[in-house]
Amino acid sequence: MPSPDLTKLSRNDSTIQQNSGGLKLSELSGRVLFFLLVLDLSYFINAMDRQVFAVLLPDIKAAYGLTGGEAGIIATIFTLGMGLAGVPAGYLADRFGRKKVVLISLLIFSVSCALQSVAAGTLDMALWRILSGVGEGMQVAALFAAVGAYFTRHRGLALGSISAAFGLGGFTGPLLGGAIVSATGDWRIPLILFGVIGILILFLVLALVPKSFTEVGRGDSSSSSSSEMTTGLRFFNRRVLCCVVVAIAGGFAIYGYLGLYPTYLRETLGFTPAEAGWAASMFGIGALGALVGGAIADRVDQRLLNVVGLLSIMVLGVAIFGFAASLAVHMIFSALLGVAFSGVLITNTSALMQRSVDPKYLGRVSGLMIAAMYIPASASGYFVTFMQSNVGWQTAGIIQLTLIPAIGLIAMAAMGKLPAGSKS
């Protein structure tokens, strides 16, 4: 049943209580867009925390005497926590409330981010990384469910705003982290700072975002827009399963790349920490394309849009590891890769999965996507370092960003043409 809090709305919250599925963008109230902005901000700090670690990795590797394989595992082990938390978090969000899960998640990943700075060795560092991932996985599942439930007609665009916020955080985190390390020589300071900021964001969400915004449709499929034509669809169906394969392929390819890309730039191309931070940060800038990608996803055949995203990742993989050498070229290609992955693949696949199930399953299907994307990705860093040690950085990077995404293309072909009603 819906939360009792939903029945205690004031008159001023009447526009929040109404699902926006039938509203045009111009008809959405400023208060509604403000609440979305606050939730976007919570994902912004998530991205800062996640992306800064790759820039700090060479310093952490030296501080703890890690081998290449150990560094690869540490770089991507957080994805295991994200994946394992995804499905349970989605269920908890549907059962007990999305806002509660968001708040708990902010606490978990902020504290564990700060604790990484005082790790005594690789075991507790890995533990804090996994717990950080648990918090992030909980947050993503609850955020995507809350936003997707409220903005049914503009679901792609609304989810795109979350991905865009992640992109801004992904840009700010490595850039700021690299600058702090260059200025202080201490890789611990960015982790502590970002953890503190996460706690501050927690209080903002608690105070400013009402449950009447986050809990729309929870336990009541009738509150979602009938134009979606998804009421009664099973949780597991062909469209969902094909999207799961895309999430697995995309997550494994990109997170293995992201975890080791700055190390490749510093150790092979001789970039400074600040230069590597700039190149890695541009991936986040590219994620701003999610606003456009989400708007497109609301209007086109989403299966074909995923094909475009996957093919773009493959072409850019060859360009980044086969041809790029200068900082300027790496920044451009990194930004374009961010557009392809965050701007197209993640946003579009999330919206497609939500449009493929009954609205009462939105939390669980969001959690399923997180699990599919991040559990396999937890081994991607080790895979990249294994390939690198055998065939070199360039070949390993090209394999990572071409052969693996091709699996997603097969899944989109297996899905077949989307039926009428799959688009807004």
pLDDT by position in tens, the chain (length 424): 443 443 333 334 444 444 444 445 444 567 888 999 999 999 898 888 877 887 888 888 888 888 877 887 787 788 788 888 888 888 888 888 899 999 999 999 899 999 999 988 888 898 999 999 899 889 988 998 888 888 877 788 888 888 888 878 877 887 788 888 888 888 999 999 999 999 999 999 999 999 888 887 665 544 444 344 444 456 678 889 999 999 999 999 998 888 778 888 888 888 887 788 788 878 878 888 888 888 888 888 888 999 999 999 999 999 999 888 888 999 999 999 999 998 899 888 988 888 888 777 788 888 898 889 888 887 887 788 888 888 888 888 899 999 999 999 999 999 876 554 444 4
CA 408, 414, 415: angle at the middle one, nearest 5? 95
Looking at residue 407, what is its pLDDT?
95
What are the structural domains of the chain? 31-415 (1.20.1250.20)
Q: What is the model's pTM? A: 0.74
Give the Å distances, CA to CA, from 377 to 73, 171, 181. Answer: 10, 21, 27
Instruction: Note every long-range contact of 57-63, with CB atoms under 8 Å and residues 24 or more positions apart, other chains counting.
Output: 57/259, 57/262, 57/263, 58/262, 58/263, 58/266, 58/267, 58/273, 59/181, 59/187, 59/273, 60/125, 60/187, 61/263, 63/187
Angstrom distance (rounded) from CA 337 to CA 315:
9
Looking at residue 235, what is its pLDDT?
67
